[in-house]
Amino acid sequence: MDPVAWLQKAYDELVELGGSTAPDPSDAWRAVALIARLVGSPNGPVPPADVLQRLPEFLATAERPDVQGLLDRVDEGLDVDEDAGGPLLDGLLDVDDAVGLLQLNGNETVALELARRVAGLVALCPERVLALGSFAEMRLATLRDDAVVGAVWRAVEAAPAYVLAEALPAVGEATDLIEPLAARLTWLEDAWHQVQGSTGDVVHAVATGVTASQGPAGGTHVDFAANLGKPREPSVELVWGEVRRFDIPLKTTVKLRVPPACQLWYRTSAGSAPLTESAWQLEAGESPVLITVTESTSAKSADAAVANGARAAGVLLVQVDDEGSSAS
Amino acid sequence: MTRAWSVTDIRSMEGEREQFAHVVKHLYRPAEHWEQVVPELAESRGKALGAESPTFFPSKGPDWSAVPDAYRRCVLSDHDRLYAPAYREALCDAEAAGRFGQLESNGPGPGWAFVDSRGVYVIVGERKMQAPKVRTAYRVLPPHASSRRTEDFFKAAVRRLRDKSSYPERGS
């Protein structure tokens, strides 16, 4: 999600709410929350002056936050094994809104305490918030470094680090991890050489926020975010012209976030096609699977993209059994 | 944002365990006031209670493996009779109203969220080489427990739709 677009949506909605002559308590609450988002941003649009003038009216109309109720909502969301983007993320956004309202009302101490306690709850259940890492990253991009509510989103963003050490599958770094497979599989050898041949100026694609969590079917969910930007720690580097190998158990989902100007493709022994979901769950009989990223938006195939000079990088997914040895 | 499917292509929740969990967690959760969406719910709750429910509608839900068969059957029946029709209707209503958006990296996989005029929030997951499927359906709680009109749930749901998805699209 784009932080600029997210703030712009807040601005647009605030303008609509600002036109309301008699806001009810929930509208007033929302208006205050949106004002807090905008004034708390280092570089977003500022609230319209006429709406900002009505802040005292909105604060007087909005009900006071129920701090214990907010903590309960987050606690409940963390405890239930359900889509993290549902009630759990709602609960975190409720806290975000409440912190903004408390601060604008001059209750800095309560705001700080609420944010800290929610950050503490999140830290106790890092595996539950792994899927929210991208959202937290976006929200942090809309906040000043010293923002009180930043503690909540930093706790979400940092969650992968706690889980990573134990759950991250081995990452292949050496060419000899690919070679034995390529020697046996002609399609893989061809695709591998194609990726290797695509490199021009070496530009590093950096995979950040490598995360893992238990999926609904007991599989491991790996969030593997590739950005063509500044490297962050911890990071796993992808390099144009190289294929990195991941040895993963069945049912593991590998997800890639790539820049808009790139396309994803998958290739197995059964053939090759565009990968529209930016994710692959490894099923029985599929291994090995090569996911290719090409720096192109209009090619009809990975082959065509590379033939037209697009750079490419790859991720080779190899099934590993429960004992940790590769099945392919 | 475009979809290659329509709401009629969406599969309902699959698997009894998943259906059971969502009915207990959401349809039966008093704070979500599903009786505003499904008026028959009050009667059903009573039946489920009469079926020796182990605990009265705990927010986290009872353990699937520990509940009596009669209670489990009641809950699964409520999924098919009440919950699934309600969330499927919500999908149609939301699509017709253009009240949906793509979720971007804030769930277990690619997905879309839909909000109907009664404040039902449905998350639909896209799946590789399979029809999309309902991942969850719930009512977004308004900021305060004292707000429990249908309108309050609707506003809360639309606001979270804006916060968490591509809705509204630019220019719409």
Note whether A288 and A188 are within 8 A (CB).
Answer: yes
Own/partner pairs for A139-142, CB < 8 Å, 24+ apart?
Answer: A139/A3, A139/A6, A139/A96, A141/A3, A142/A3, A142/A6, A142/A7, A142/A37, A142/A40, A142/A41, A142/A44
pLDDT tens-digit series, residues A260-276: 677 888 888 877 888 87
Neighboring chain B residues of A253 at a CB cutoff of 8 Å: 108-109
Q: Which of A75-89, A131-145, A289-303 has the lowest mean pLDDT?
A: A289-303
CA B20 from centroid of its chain's CA atoms: 12
Of the candidates B107, B145, B159, which has its C-beta nearest A69's C-beta? B145
Residue of A nearest to B160 (CA): A90
Contact B110 A279 (CB under 8 A): yes
| Angstrom distance (rounded) from CA B26 to CA A243 | 44
Q: What are φ and ψ of residue B121, in 5° steps?
A: -110, 115
Report whether A256 contacts A231 (CB < 8 A): no
Q: What is the per-residue pLDDT for A316?
A: 83
Interface contact B136, partner A, CB < 8 A: yes
Whether residues B164 and A93 touch (CB distance < 8 A) is answered with: yes
Q: The tokens of A69 are what?
A: 């109720």
Distance in Å, alpha carbon of B127 to nearest chain A alpha carbon: 8
The Cα A315–Cα B123 span in angstroms is 29
How close B42 comes to chain A (CA, Å)? 23
| Residue A139 scores a pLDDT above 90 | yes
Query: Is B149 in CB contact (< 8 Å) with chain A?
Result: no
Instruction: Calculate what percentage of chain A has a pLDDT beyond 70.
Output: 75
B43 CA to chain A: closest CA distance, Å? 26
Residues 154-213 of A with CB under 8 A from B: none
Find the CB nearest A216 among B108, B159, B168: B108
* Inter-CA distances, A186 with A183, A269, A300, A328, B126, Å: 7, 9, 22, 14, 32
Question: Which of B29, B150, B163, B169 should be substituted to probe chain A, the one whose Cβ sees the most A Cβ atoms within 10 Å?
Answer: B163
> Which range, of A2-11, A140-149, A182-191, A314-323, averages the lowest pLDDT?
A314-323
Reading chain B (172 residues) residue by residue, the pLDDT tens digits are: 578 899 999 999 988 999 999 998 899 888 999 999 999 887 776 666 555 444 444 445 567 777 788 888 888 999 999 999 999 999 999 999 999 999 976 666 789 999 999 999 999 998 877 899 999 999 999 988 788 899 999 999 999 999 999 999 765 5
Q: Does B128 touch chain A (CB under 8 A)?
A: yes
CA-based diameter of chain A, in Å?
A: 73
Dump pLDDT digits (tens) for A63-117: 899 999 999 999 989 877 788 999 999 999 999 999 999 999 999 999 999 999 9
How far, CA to CA in Å, does B29 sit from each of A87, A136, A296, B35, B60? 13, 28, 48, 10, 9
Query: For residue A25, which residues of chain B lie inside 8 Å, CB to CB?
Result: 144, 147
**Is the ipTM above a cut-off of 0.95?**
no
Locate B145 and state its tokens: 């427990």
pLDDT score of A52:
95
> Does residue A142 belong to the interface with chain B, where contact is any CB pair within 8 Å?
no
Confidence of residue A239 (pLDDT cuts 50, 70, 90): low
Whether residue A25 lies within 8 A of chain B, CB to CB, comes out as yes
Q: B140 to chain A, minimum CA–CA distance in Å?
A: 7
Interchain CB contact of B6 with A (< 8 Å): no
**Contacts across the A-B interface (CB distance below 8 Å):** 115
Q: Please indicate whether, in this complex, the C-beta atoms of A26 and B108 are within 8 angstroms of each other.
A: no
| Probe site for chain A from B105, B112, B127, B144 (most A CB atoms < 10 A) | B105
Name residues 76-115 of chain A within 8 A of B (Cβ).
Answer: 76, 79-87, 89-90, 93-94, 97-98
Determine the distance from the C-alpha atom of residue A69 to the mean position of all C-alpha atoms in its chain, rounded to a whole number. Answer: 27
Contact B144 A66 (CB under 8 A): yes
pLDDT of residue A252 exceeding 60: yes
> How far A176 CA lies from chain B's nearest CA (Å)?
31
Q: Is A9 on the interface with B (CB under 8 A)?
A: yes
Give the C-alpha distances (Å, rounded to integers) separating A180 from A70, A120, A189, A191: 54, 46, 10, 14
pLDDT in tens, A187-223: 778 777 777 766 544 333 433 333 333 333 333 333 3
